[in-house]
Structure 1
């Protein structure tokens, strides 16, 4: 029984002082059995089609026309797959939604942003300085533009993490709010509530795909600015 509505996001459930809730973050491995790499089936062909489309799109965003740099898209494809699996697993009953916590989302976005910044400022410092002042900025506004661009650059990992966390929490919380009223409804209103919950579940499934795609695309764009 929940003490409050936010108990569904409580990561403190444990067994023998071991936080088993966070094991849900690696449950995506069960979707990648060895047979996918040996015997091509429809599931593998469909997933390969998605990965191939993402690879081409990320490659265009990164402006990597050199064949030696094709592997640079794999990190974003892997991040897309990881977030997508965890978003979908959170829709199943009794499975902890790890992506609804800043602990996980910041652990993804912050190290990636730091690596982009270190690479950009060490190898392309002149190019990074040019991003501080947009083309055509008046001389009077240049100090303010540098300050604004610096702040917007610093908060990027936070906005990535909060965007993912807030979207995952909002849908789950709305479904919990509606389901908690089921005990007080009449027989006919229960059917309406179930229909609304099904629609919300479909919406959450779309949000799970869209958010993983948005996070991957934004990370790719941030990476392209350092080259």
Structure 2
């Protein structure tokens, strides 16, 4: 039962041992050129408003004013958001529910921030290991705790995104598999619950992409 349940997350289409389902990760790129070539529409105006709002928030965290400072994190938010929403469509592989995908995003970001901080702001990074006002007897323990918390950051970023996407998809799959077993009198209740769960998953897709981008921005602000 568990094997058939989790098999919906496994790449199945392949040519020469290359899983083609991962190509769905880049489907969102096909929607981007429309914003540049089509006259301003409601969708493009809405997306521009979202980008400006994110930039205003990210620049406050990073304490920088130029647009290029937040371009990386706005692009990261957009990329994850596209993949989360595409995973809600039928017959489209959800790449953001795999640790191979989420860890590939979180680990290079975290590693680049750590290397930049320790190379360029060594004293500042050492000061972060001991919070202000810590008693002398607790300093070794605080250094150990802060070091462990910094090391597990990419794992928590990756697992948080993947686990939230997997949980909702599993619940939708479980309810969908109950359809043939339910009497027709309760079918309306099943469809109504599926619609509510789909709305919840849409909200989770937005929230998780926002959380991933904001936490990455916070980690970057600590090394400045």
TM-score category (smaller protein): over 0.9
Distance 2:81 2:118 in 1: 31
Distance 2:12 2:179 in 1: 27
Partner of 1:140: 137
Partner of 1:55: 55
Q: Once the two structures are superposed, what CA deviation does each residue of 1:163-217 show, in whole Å capped at 9, x if it has no partner?
A: 0000000000011111111111101111101100000000000000000000000
Partner of 1:218: 215
Partner of 1:36: 35
Partner of 2:24: 24
Matched, 1:188 2:185: yes
Matched, 1:207 2:217: no
* Equivalent position SS for 2:40: coil
Q: Once the two structures are superposed, what CA deviation does each residue of 1:30-49 show, in whole Å capped at 9, x if it has no partner?
A: 2112x422432222111111
Structure 1 gaps of 5+ residues are none
Matched, 1:174 2:174: no
* Equivalent position SS for 1:94: coil
1:64: how far off?
Answer: 1.2
Distance 1:197 1:41 in 2: 31
Matched, 1:64 2:43: no
1:72: how far off?
Answer: 1.5
TM-score by length of 2: 0.96
Partner of 2:46: 46
1:7: how far off?
Answer: 0.9
Partner of 1:100: 97
1:117: how far off?
Answer: 0.3
Distance 2:146 2:36 in 1: 45
Distance 2:49 2:120 in 1: 35
Distance 2:3 2:126 in 1: 51
Structure 2 gaps of 5+ residues are none
* Equivalent position SS for 1:129: helix
1:16: how far off?
Answer: 5.0
Distance 1:27 1:215 in 2: 20
Distance 1:189 1:30 in 2: 40
1:3: how far off?
Answer: 5.7
